[in-house]
Structure 1
């Protein structure tokens, strides 16, 4: 079955503004990637879009990706707060570097799996 065939099984149906859930998922991942490279507020926009579109995506490949990106945001925020406090004792920089590698891994993984029309196997996992 091709990617087009899987799109027609529900995840490719237009969702608000004529965009498909697949397109909205790409937008969420793209905004998350942009937030990573520019340290901007686009991560918050990605979070809001993911929360808005996830109910429409129930039972689809896109739902796993949206859940994965939501968890990436919240875990990143939590670790950033802890790392910020620990900067005082010098440990925070190590946490920030580890967080950057972890975020990059999750963004690349989401891109690769969505490109292959595959779900995130366990979207609530740490990796």
Structure 2
């Protein structure tokens, strides 16, 4: 009986949980961004603002979301550059491989972005920190 009372008085025995709403909102804004484009940037701003005051679990999700955004922007620009450079060159058939590569990169980065958001949501729902927030893959 005394162990039960002692466990109730021990502040370390209580599991600390962080709010899951704002990281979930960031992931939701990212996914919604495919319909309008603006909410990608709103989600990024929310992640940057909240990262400094977040606990360790939410901080990993915000870092993961920020890196997801910037890595996808970098690869989007590569794919877009290949498409834009390949379009005029495809008139002489030299640009077709560049055009195809650009479209493949744009499609792959979109799929990669969605998978990373879903993976982040899965860890968030379980109340876990994202294990590798600075990783390039998932």
Structure 1 and Structure 2 fold alike (TM over 0.5) = yes
CA RMSD of aligned residues (A): 1.5
Q: Report the Cα distance in structure 2 between the residues aligned to 1:100 and 1:6, rounded to whole angstroms.
A: 35
Residue of 33, 36, 41 corresponding to 1:35: 33
Give TM-score scaled by structure 1 length.
Answer: 0.81
Check if 1:112 corresponds to 2:109.
no
In the TM superposition, 1:1-127 aligns within 5 A as 5-7=15-17, 11-12=18-19, 22-36=20-34, 38-57=35-54, 59-87=55-83, 88=86, 89-90=98-99, 91-126=101-136, 127=138
1:39 CA drift (Å): 4.5
Give TM-score scaled by structure 2 length.
Answer: 0.75
Q: Report the Cα distance in structure 2 between the residues aligned to 1:79 and 1:68, rounded to whole angstroms.
A: 16
Consecutive unaligned residues of structure 2, counting only runs of 5 or more, are: 1-13, 87-97
Tell me the SS of whatever aligns to 1:30: helix
Q: Deviations over 1:102-123 (max 9, x none)?
A: 1111011011110011111010
Consecutive unaligned residues of structure 1, counting only runs of 5 or more, are: 13-21
Q: Report the Cα distance in structure 2 between the residues aligned to 1:106 and 1:27, rounded to whole angstroms.
A: 15
The structure with more radius of gyration? 2
